[in-house]
Amino acid sequence: MANWSTDDIPRQSGRLAVIAGSPGVAMIAPRARDLAVAARLWDISETLTKVRRPSTQTEHLS
């Protein structure tokens, strides 16, 4: 992994970071792939923002 700091990011609105180099395999923790946790996060987000996520195609089939 390259060592970089915010000084390496161009000074512009949003300060988008560009990371260069060869792609690699991402190690994603099992909890990050937990669908029950994801559903709970959506529910909490909808409650806090009062914005509902769009319906999915499968929800229309039932």
* Tens-digit pLDDT profile for residues 23-37: 788 888 888 899 999
29 in any annotated domain:
yes
6 in any annotated domain:
no
State the Cα angle at 25 between 19 and 28, rounded to 5°: 100
32 in any annotated domain:
yes
4 in any annotated domain:
no
Total domains, the chain: 1
Chain-wide mean pLDDT for the chain? 76
Give which of 58, 57, 1, 47 is closest to 24, Cα–Cα.
1
- Taken in order 44, 47, 52, 56, the sign of the CA dihedral is positive
Range of the domain at 44: 25-52
- Pick 60 or 52 by higher pLDDT: 52
36 in any annotated domain:
yes
The reported pTM is 0.44
20 in any annotated domain:
no
Rounded Cα distance, 45 and 31, in Å: 18
Say if residue 20's pLDDT is above 90: no
